[in-house]
Structure 1
Amino acid sequence: MLPSVWAKTFASQRAGVACFRGLHQSVSLAQPINLARKFTPIASTSSHRILAGGSQGPLTAWLKQHRQFGTGISSKRPTFDPRFFSSNASRLQVAEALASDASASPTSEVTPVLTPPSVGIWLLVSSVLVFAVIVVGGVTRLTESGLSITEWNPITGILPPLSKAAWEEEFEKYKATPEFKMINHSISLSEFKSIFFMEWGHRVLGRLIGVAFVLPFAYFASRRYLTRPLPRNLFLMGLLIGFQGALGWYMVKSGLEDTLLETPGAVPRVSQYRLAAHLGTAFVLYAGMFSTGLSVLYDWRFARKGQWSGLTNGTDWKSIVENPTFKRFARYSKALTALVFLTALSGAFVAGLDAGLLYNEFPLMGGRLAPPSDELFSPFYAKKADGSDLWWRNILENPTTVQFNHRCLAITTYCATGALFLASRNPVYRAVLTPLIKRMVVSAFAMANVQVLLGISTLLYLVPIPLAAAHQAGSVMLLTTMLQVLLALRRPGVAARAWREAVARQRKL
């Protein structure tokens, strides 16, 4: 009887090898490949159990060597394992199993990679770090600490001065700056240390963002966990982090130039243009990390559970997003998001010119809705003899005009956010908007109210540091809520749709 059992086992093993060989050669079939039905019988045979617990037969050795096929072999693992549809997908040409385009040819290679939630969580954590560096940067400017470090050393600058002699040397460098000569000429070494550590903390946090982004990115890319075009977008974000550091030093240099000592009425501070560019780049980086990370989580949820934009059954997402009313609401939301970004960028000019210290009243400015026209467009700011640069220089360099513009943009943004909220309550829009969109619109309007209160309080109380820092953080939070609105309006990703269709086909078989 024992020879008979071994004969059956050997025959079953040869049949299993033939089955795997047949699967490998059947990629050009027009019908979708049912991976679970091809793999499960082999996993459940008594011969495989004997080999798994006993000697290492050819089939067991082959399975261990090609363990990426563990999805179908182990009944405890999900049917569609992300590792299977990465580098192995193109090699095995499993296009028919996951192709979202029904018109695709049977031999076309489609290799969707469903990015795991760990990538989304990493990007969200990175966006939190960028949010923190924006707030710390605002406090650094408000405490006038940004010009305390006069050199940019990306590597050696990680460590602060560690001895009294090193502190004295650093203090001597600061004494040569226009800020010390014109404003802080009477500060002591201990006072210098306080502003030094503020700027040093800001720079170290920026370096931490670079390390926390680059190393996980290299890991996820090497493991091929990233859906196209995610590697390209993340690579651009990495370049933006490096550019942000260089741009920060370029901004600081503008406040260290000796020409400030020779310019009548000059104040030792950084250029408002470079400050706006530095802050705007940080906003773009934050928006990219946050929206990409949340998109990864949303796509995973749609692919695995069919949930989309707050709907537990997102099978009708296509008919919803193609509705003209839905598209119109999406256009309004995108325009409002751009307006929020522009308003925040105008706040950088207010901060760079200390324009918040003028006209500390609201809603009037000097007892009227707008200052006199000769003050808004003063010829003092024109550099050309013909005055052709009068308009744009006053808009960007005149503190009074800069504050007036920021007020107008802030009021417009608040009214537009309120209009979007009211539109979401309109029965016409309400009938097509998903639950998540409605919740995010409410959050955006609530944050707009908080931001307006913070802005008015900052103005009335002459820009105290806590309120001013909270106001800058509020601008990031308002942008965050609008990004969440756009993500709720977003279609599922291509890879997520392919996975969902493959799951639907799998259930029908």
Structure 2
Amino acid sequence: MLRMLQKRTSMIKLMVPRPRLHQTIAQTTIKEIPTIKHATITNSEKTVGRWFLGVSGMVFVAVGLGGVTRLTESGLSMVTWKLTGERMPRTQEDWVQEFTKYQQYPEYKLKNANMTVEEFKFIYLMEYIHRMWGRAIGGFFLVPAAYFWKKGYFCAKTKKSVLLLGTLIGLQGLMGWYMVKSGLENRFEDPNDVPRVSQYRLASHLAAAFVLYSLSLSQAMSKLFPSEPFVVKAKKAFNIKGLSHMTKGMVFLTAISGAFVAGLDAGLVYNSFPKMGDSWIPDDMWQFKPVQRNITENPTTVQFNHRILGITTVSLASALWLVTRRMQLPKRTKWAINAVFAMAWTQATLGVTTLLTYVPVPLATAHQSGSLVLLSFALWLSHEIRFLKYLPK
């Protein structure tokens, strides 16, 4: 009897299916994934997250206002800068006084000599709104930051981010004036010169704004909807993480190259696509000496580079979408990838349309704002795949 029981037991063990190797690996890998306890997100963290989101929203508007200011050629209308802010002219006498100051600088002398006081009011108002909005960002950041800090709402990591963001906001104001100052200098001796701000300072100002926006938006996402760990079967980790980071970096680089296009009015040369005039590569791309000057100072080369970077960005976003199309991914990650893909093509369409229509202000503003929307989606995707782990096929 005992022998029969032992025999039956051994037969039952043989009938029980053994766990496959990939199942064992999956269980081991899942145990290694860091977990996020959503229940531990406190009301104070949500409040801080909404504040970070508000800061990023205000920076987004500031970038749009800066684009309009540049496109309407209003940036050099205010020839003074005060830390506490300039007073808006109220009477006609005040307007005449501000206009008299403006008349002493190259933009009026070489370009706007026939401008009237009424025409001056418009460009002054555009620059005034842009500056005041920048100062409003400082107030919106500083007052809640001091309150939250005192109440202990910030962890050690968040405190470092707050200090960095505060420093960047302060530097942005100084960088803005440093940029404007380059267009007020008496270095435009040729009557055919077009007084404008330095394209290098313009690109630096825009890059700092993009960094400020990216940091504040990333902090908001980490507070309001933390990333969730998940596992993907893939031969190489590069498939998603590497490609998404490359796409994000290319979005940023393309946007900064757009600042050089705006700074040199390079969008007004070769208003055709896909060719530049009758050629794929124009003959005047390397006419400046030394040769490296062409990359940032020759309008033809600057536009050509922006085109190539834009095409590369769209190609990377499309490759990312194709690579992940059949992967089993979380819903939010899928949404983020689709958003990057759709916005990349929308942004490219806006850019080409802006070029073909000789850079109208509404389209050009939409194109600049579109770069920030695309960067937002790329940041969202990076946030979603933060805790991604891979299983070998």
Measured against the shorter chain, the TM-score band is 0.7 to 0.9
1:234 Cα offset (Å): 1.1
Indicate the residue corresponding to 2:367 in structure 1: 471
Alignment match of 2:241 (pick from 330, 341, 345): 330
1:156 Cα offset (Å): 4.1
Indicate the residue corresponding to 2:384 in structure 1: 488
Indicate the residue corresponding to 1:62 in structure 2: none
Residue 195 (1) aligns with residue 106 (2): no
Indicate the residue corresponding to 1:96 in structure 2: none
Indicate the residue corresponding to 1:80 in structure 2: none
CA contact (8 A) 1:321 1:327 kept: no
> Which amino acid in structure 1 is aligned with residue 73 of structure 2?
E
Indicate the residue corresponding to 1:178 in structure 2: 106
Which gives a bigger RCO, structure 1 or 2 (Cα 8 Å, sep 6+)? 2
Write out per-residue CA displacement over residues 471-500 of structure 1, whole angstroms, 9 at most, x where no aligned residue.
Answer: 0000000101100000101239xxxxxxxx
> Which amino acid in structure 1 is aligned with residue 279 of structure 2?
R
For residues 192 and 111 of structure 2, the distance between their equivalents in structure 1, rounded to whole angstroms, comes to 13
1:324 Cα offset (Å): 6.6
Alignment match of 1:366 (pick from 270, 277, 296): 277
1:155 Cα offset (Å): 1.1
For these two proteins, the number of residue pairs brought into alignment is 350
Q: Cα–Cα, structure 1 residues 264 and 148, in superposed 2: closer, same or farther, change >3 Å?
A: closer
Task: Indicate the larger mover: 171-180 or 324-333.
Answer: 324-333
> Which amino acid in structure 2 is aligned with residue 329 of structure 1?
I
Indicate the residue corresponding to 1:377 in structure 2: 286
For residues 436 and 126 of structure 1, the distance between their equivalents in structure 2, rounded to whole angstroms, comes to 24
For residues 248 and 265 of structure 1, the distance between their equivalents in structure 2, rounded to whole angstroms, comes to 26
Alignment match of 1:405 (pick from 280, 287, 305): 305
Please list every run of 5 or more consecutive structure 1 residues that lacks an aligned counterpart in the other structure: 1-100, 102-111, 300-307, 310-316, 383-388, 493-509
Larger radius of gyration: 1
Alignment match of 2:153 (pick from 201, 221, 225): 225
CA contact (8 A) 1:127 1:290 kept: yes
In structure 1, the residue corresponding to 2:156 is in which secondary structure? coil
Indicate the residue corresponding to 1:295 in structure 2: 222
Write out per-residue CA displacement over residues 438-471 of structure 1, whole angstroms, 9 at most, x where no aligned residue.
Answer: 1100011110111011101100000000000000
For residues 419 and 170 of structure 1, the distance between their equivalents in structure 2, rounded to whole angstroms, comes to 53
CA contact (8 A) 1:127 1:286 kept: yes
CA contact (8 A) 1:347 1:406 kept: yes
What pairs up with 1:430-449 in 2 under 5 angstroms? 430-431=327-328, 433-449=329-345
For residues 45 and 85 of structure 2, the distance between their equivalents in structure 1, rounded to whole angstroms, comes to 36
Residue 278 (1) aligns with residue 178 (2): no
Q: Cα–Cα, structure 1 residues 324 and 235, in superposed 2: closer, same or farther, change >3 Å?
A: farther
For residues 297 and 323 of structure 1, the distance between their equivalents in structure 2, rounded to whole angstroms, comes to 29
For residues 62 and 206 of structure 2, the distance between their equivalents in structure 1, rounded to whole angstroms, comes to 10
Where in structure 1 do 4 or more consecutive aligned residues deviate above 6 Å? 321-324
Indicate the residue corresponding to 2:265 in structure 1: 354
Write out per-residue CA displacement over residues 410-462 of structure 1, whole angstroms, 9 at most, x where no aligned residue.
Answer: 01110110000001114xxx13x322111100011110111011101100000
In structure 1, the residue corresponding to 2:162 is in which secondary structure? helix
For residues 252 and 228 of structure 1, the distance between their equivalents in structure 2, rounded to whole angstroms, comes to 37
- Percent identity (aligned): 46
Write out per-residue CA displacement over residues 94-128 of structure 1, whole angstroms, 9 at most, x where no aligned residue.
Answer: xxxxxxx9xxxxxxxxxx99661111111111111
CA contact (8 A) 2:254 2:310 kept: yes
TM-score, normalised with respect to structure 2: 0.85
CA contact (8 A) 1:130 1:282 kept: yes
CA contact (8 A) 2:339 2:377 kept: yes
Write out per-residue CA displacement over residues 267-299 of structure 1, whole angstroms, 9 at most, x where no aligned residue.
Answer: 100000000000111010011111111111123
In structure 2, the residue corresponding to 1:146 is in which secondary structure? coil
Indicate the residue corresponding to 2:355 in structure 1: 459
Please list every run of 5 or more consecutive structure 2 residues that lacks an aligned counterpart in the other structure: 1-33, 35-39, 389-393
What pairs up with 1:416-435 in 2 under 5 angstroms? 416-426=316-326, 430-431=327-328, 433-435=329-331
Alignment match of 1:160 (pick from 69, 79, 88): 88
Indicate the residue corresponding to 1:78 in structure 2: none
> Which amino acid in structure 1 is aligned with residue 75 of structure 2?
G
Write out per-residue CA displacement over residues 236-274 of structure 1, whole angstroms, 9 at most, x where no aligned residue.
Answer: 1011001000000000000001121x2474210000000
Root-mean-square deviation (CA), in Å? 2.0
Indicate the residue corresponding to 1:269 in structure 2: 196
> Which amino acid in structure 2 is aligned with residue 439 of structure 1?
W
Alignment match of 2:75 (pick from 132, 142, 146): 146
Indicate the residue corresponding to 1:116 in structure 2: 45
Task: Indicate the larger mover: 362-371 or 342-351.
Answer: 362-371
For residues 491 and 321 of structure 1, the distance between their equivalents in structure 2, rounded to whole angstroms, comes to 11
> Which amino acid in structure 1 is aligned with residue 125 of structure 2?
F
> Which amino acid in structure 2 is aligned with residue 166 of structure 1?
D
